[in-house]
Structure 1
Amino acid sequence: MKAFDIRKPEEKLRASIREKIDNLNKPKGSLGRLESLAEQICMIQQTLSPTLSHPCHLLFGGDHGIEREGVSVSPREVTWQQMINFTRGGGGVNMFCRQHGFHLRIIDVGVDYDLSDNPRILNRKIARGTRNFLYEAAMSEEEFGKAIDTGIEMVDYCRKEGCNIICMGEMGIANTSPSSIWMSIFGNIPLNECIGIGSGLDSEGVNHKQQILNQAVNNFQATNPNPAPADIIRYFGGFEMVAAVGAMLRAAETGMAVMVDGFIMSACMLAASQLEPNVLDYAIFGHCGDESGHKRMLELMNAEPLLQLGMRLGEGTGALCSYPIIESAVRMLNEMNNFENANITKYF
């Protein structure tokens, strides 16, 4: 796969950033999480006066072969139906993009339906869904590379338009299954502790999902005793998930802030960090969702989410809801006065 050159932000500016934050006319530390968030954005942009420019949201769609095993309560046709719904502005992702001024791109990387005649969906279809990872790798090395490249391509489009903060979302029935497996393998956590209800499984459905995914992992490990991270990502991932991984890596490589949504997108960031650990310096985790294991997955990355609203819709909606907090952190730095200019005695 393509090599990424993701560098840790230069540390030499950090002391000046903290000095600026501490000298704003407020008690030291009184704006809490906004202060650490502002520091992170300054470090990403390597400036004391950060900006947020042309925010973009990439929504990747793809179907999963493992869905054929009954691991999701939702049928696969919901993927293409929702993709069309997004083009009409009727999804949760549409509402939040409108509210917060995000440019939305809808990309088909692997939906099991012909969407090529819809002008509002970018056609980057690799195949009509992945293969069933219960029996074989979800995608070939060539398909894996195409998915990564699609994520890169979409980020580069956004950069050319002036974007410096980007968000990713997904539409793909059964994608909590590969997410749970990535979490288990990369986090060294028993798989059953990583599996939840997805889009609404009952207890019997969860038990069935656990059996299927445990068998899939056992089959994989029997023939792959020492897999590289890319092998694990390729074997279990969805096209929409791997495209998101590529987008995250490219965005970080080019110095953009990457907003991370719920369980699926956190799993993609976890996978991306296995390939390039420095990507986490660019990640802003917007939301801790209601999916079982999400909090634990965030802990694997030492992530501190901005919101916890009990959401588990996906599509990038939880991250989009956090955007006003990110805006507030930037405004704090650029619009609050300091003690000296305000003629206020520094009282700490």
Structure 2
Amino acid sequence: METQAYNHLLDVIQAIHPFDDEAAKLALKHSDSLTKPPGSLGKLEAVAAQLAGISGKLWPDLSRKAVIIMAGDHGVCEEGISAFPQAVTPQMVVNFLNGGAAVNVLARQAGAEVVCVDIGVIGHIEHERLVSRKIVRGTANMAKQAAMSRGDALDAILVGIEIVNEQINRGSRLFATGEMGIGNTTASAALTTVLTGLPPEESVGRGTGINEAGWMKKVEVVKRAIEVNGLHAAGADPIDVLAKVGGAEIAGLVGVIIGAAASGCPVVIDGYISSAAALVASRITEKTLPYMIASHQSQEQGHAKLLDAIGLTPMIQLDMRLGEGTGAVLAFHFIDAALLLMQEMATFESAGVTKG
């Protein structure tokens, strides 16, 4: 079954089309013809060109948007690395489903659908809006053993791909990554340390708001998890690393990113946890990179260096560290603005304005 899942993943990767450089150049050329100094709209011009290169169309229709929230629990919570108890994971999932979380408010404002997926929550959740695709009932404690089997990690990636395909069939063409899982900043820090070489002292942040003693403990737990799982070798297999020190929801987001790229759709990356998933996805295949848009730079201390390691530049910096997909959904507004500016602004010629 593991071989079958891996072969399926390879087939999806094979379907990712190269970035259309010509379409991107045409978008930039059009941007330079508009009534403004060249490059004066900054990142908005860059993202408009990127969207053209992704879609092969000058101005793609991205009006249907979805933020996919993957939820899962982490066995490493038994090490006391979070300011919040593990029971908060299912409680927040219900909050998402009832429309009461920050990401729900921002998604409504952006006209985006919230899709909440139980991919690894320990307990049972019943709700008419829940997408239940449970791969594990929480991961094992990565400080003592592998968080998941390689087969579970692959299955979780395939769930992410499947969810994207389902949303595409419903009309979505622009995606954002979101997550919920108490303990997942610890898993993300471990992934970042192994795959970038960043020391745990730089990859581990405050997460839900732990104090100095809690942070030092978290650093030690990440070091122990890396040691226990033998993840010191350079050039490590990203799927193996994901299985040993990742989480089901992070693996699901890896699948969301790969699935969006395979379907020719842009995917907006949220904060630290989503960026850890983006790092894994990019290490599995660099073909995903042109399809990623970094939304914001989180307050989590390792995020800037993580984004730099992937090769992504965030659109905004608001000192956020909530997760859920909140920063990514905020970025939807800037993407809409970029497309509208390119479509509705007058050119120098049409407006009769002298070009510099």
TM-score, normalised to structure 1, is: 0.96
The Cα of 1:227 is off from its aligned counterpart by 3.6
- Of 230, 241, 244, the match for 1:232: 241
Letter in 2 for 1:208: K
Q: Mean alpha-carbon deviation: is it higher for 167-176 or for 137-146?
A: 137-146
Structure 1 counterpart SS, 2:115 = strand
Structure 1 counterpart SS, 2:319 = coil
- Deviations, residues 139-192 of structure 1 (Å, cap 9, x unaligned): 112211221111011100111112111011000000001111111111111122
Distance 2:47 2:237 in 1: 33
Superposition map of 1:1-348 within 5 A: 1=6, 2-3=9-10, 4-5=13-14, 6-115=16-125, 117-221=126-230, 227-347=236-356
- Deviations, residues 267-316 of structure 1 (Å, cap 9, x unaligned): 11011100011211011111101111111111112221111111101000
Structure 1 counterpart SS, 2:229 = helix
The Cα of 1:12 is off from its aligned counterpart by 2.7
Distance 2:166 2:219 in 1: 39
Structure 2 counterpart SS, 1:221 = coil
Letter in 2 for 1:244: L
List alignment gaps of at least 5 residues for structure 1: none
Letter in 1 for 2:326: T
The Cα of 1:266 is off from its aligned counterpart by 0.8
The Cα of 1:8 is off from its aligned counterpart by 2.5
| Cα pair 2:225 2:245 within 8 Å, conserved | no
The Cα of 1:223 is off from its aligned counterpart by 9.3
Letter in 2 for 1:134: A
| Cα pair 2:154 2:239 within 8 Å, conserved | no
The Cα of 1:7 is off from its aligned counterpart by 3.2
Q: Mean alpha-carbon deviation: is it higher for 9-18 or for 292-301?
A: 9-18
The Cα of 1:51 is off from its aligned counterpart by 2.2
Change in Cα spacing, 1:191 to 1:92, as seen in structure 2 (3 Å) is same
| Cα pair 1:286 1:305 within 8 Å, conserved | yes
The Cα of 1:15 is off from its aligned counterpart by 2.9
The Cα of 1:64 is off from its aligned counterpart by 0.5
Structure 2 counterpart SS, 1:327 = helix
